[in-house]
Amino acid sequence: MEKFDFDELTQRRHTSSLKWDTMPGDDVIPLWVADMDFRTAPAVTEALQRRVESGIFGYVDVPDEFYDALTGWFTRRHGWDIDRSRVIYTSGVVPAVSAIIKALTIPGDGVIVQTPAYNCFFSSIRNNGCRQADNPLLRAECGDGFTYGIDFGNLETLASDPRNKLLILCNPHNPTGRVWTRTELESVRDICRRHGVTVISDEIHCELTHPGYTYTPYATIDDRAVVCCSPSKAFNTAGLQIAAIVCPDADLQARIDRAINDNEVCDVNPFGVEGLIAAYNHGESWLDALRQYLYGNYTFLRDMISAKLPDWKICMSESTYLAWIDISRSMTDGDAMERFLLEKARVRVSSGAGYGAPGYIRINYACPRQRLEEALGRIVAAL
């Protein structure tokens, strides 16, 4: 396998980085917002450099190569054959989810979310005048940690309410890191079909599974679903602002396309297009190496918590680079823990309150091991 240097201590301060340059002081280590401290795949950088050399950055006509790269990647890597005529490009998964809600609901409709959940789901529902219908995940203890499952009984109840029109599925799930099994996804499909609920599946973390776990594209199970995907999390290209919506139903696709235009997220920049093409055509070996490194970081973090922070319990993650941690035995308020660690350890984490779970925090471990070790050492010392 080609070698890539994920141990490089990249310097992101004073680069207009949201993650780094919004910190109260240059001594803070940020482990919060979900972007990585690694350089992207060399193929992506090279493609962007070639685009820069043109010196012209006008409006982009998305080429056939974009669709070829997208469909080729998911067929080759995940066995999902995407009909390119059912693809809508847009500037990101969050704008995509918001536009889909706008297209498929009217104000006052209910949208089911499985909490704890990605915080932008909440704002997307609220901003479209809809009502959030929570289906809390079921926590189960396992060993020194815990995991989650779907409450299918309550999902049936919520789906049977005719006021609830949509379910937002996060596959794999942020922030818990669950990789839903085919059987679980089939149960979601069956419940939603029985009651006419449309599923929106956010699959932005699909490439970041840990060893032994396999991502199942929801569209391979439910041909009525609307799926959102992007290379941004896997290749650390969120700032390029590119995503795709896949909608097999022609009528729904037309309504979503209209909402994409209404929300004015129908234009994308040339760097996003070039980045996606390069990532999906030439980034596979880099991604495989990244996944190994991230799993090493996860096990390091898990072992450190087990050995040094006995009052904390970590969710047994199956994917992503985001650790979901129960801190309730040392501090019941995630907001308070976030403030405490920022002040006393000079490490910023994310409070679980934003995801609907106040007794938890989320830690982003997508950084060089040395930086992660330093941050965890500070946390241990502060506590």
Domain 48-282 class, CATH top level: alpha beta
Give span(s): CATH 3.90.1150.10, the chain: 18-40+284-382
- pLDDT score of 49: 98
Among candidates 63, 81, 96, which has minimal Cα distance to 245? 96
What crossing angle do the helices spanning 182-195 and 152-160 adopt, rounded to 10°? Answer: 20
- pLDDT band for 2, please (50, 70, 90 cuts): confident
**pLDDT over 70 at 208, yes or no:** yes
Give span(s): CATH 3.40.640.10, the chain: 48-282
Considering the four listed CATH numbers 3.90.1150.10, 3.40.50.1110, 3.40.50.720, 3.40.50.300, the one that applies to the domain covering 18-40+284-382 is: 3.90.1150.10
Model pLDDT for residues 17-70, shown as the tens digit of each residue = 999 999 999 999 999 999 999 999 999 999 999 999 999 999 999 999 999 999
Residue 280 and residue 82 in contact, taking contact as beta carbons nearer than 8 Å: no
Model pLDDT for residues 244-284, shown as the tens digit of each residue = 999 999 999 999 999 999 999 999 999 999 999 999 999 99
- For the range 19-26, what are the long-range contacts, defined as Cβ-Cβ under 8 Å and sequence gap of 24 or more? 23/348, 24/342, 25/346
- pLDDT band for 143, please (50, 70, 90 cuts): confident
Among candidates 198, 280, 281, which has minimal Cα distance to 247? 198
Residue 378 and residue 346 in contact, taking contact as beta carbons nearer than 8 Å: yes
CA atoms within 13 A on the CB side of 119: 14
Which residues contact residue 62 at a Cβ distance below 8 angstroms, ignoring those fewer than 6 apart?
89, 268, 273
Neighbours of 87 (CB within 10 A): 18
DSSP E strand stretches across the chain: 29-30, 87-90, 110-113, 131-134, 138-142, 145-149, 164-170, 198-202, 226-229, 243-246, 313-314, 322-326, 347-348, 350-351, 360-364
**pLDDT over 70 at 1, yes or no:** no
- Taking residues 352-365, report their average pLDDT: 97
What pTM was computed for the model? 0.97
Percent of the chain past pLDDT 70, that is, above it, reads 100
Tokens of 167: 């379910």
Model pLDDT for residues 283-328, shown as the tens digit of each residue = 999 999 999 999 999 999 999 999 999 999 999 999 999 999 999 9
Q: How far is CA 167 from the centre of its chain?
A: 17
The residue with tokens 């190994």 is 292
- pLDDT band for 332, please (50, 70, 90 cuts): confident
- For the range 262-266, what are the long-range contacts, defined as Cβ-Cβ under 8 Å and sequence gap of 24 or more? 262/99, 262/102, 263/95, 263/98, 263/99, 263/102, 265/90, 265/91, 265/92, 265/95, 265/96, 265/99, 266/90
Query: Rounded CA gap, 30 and 36, in Å?
Result: 10
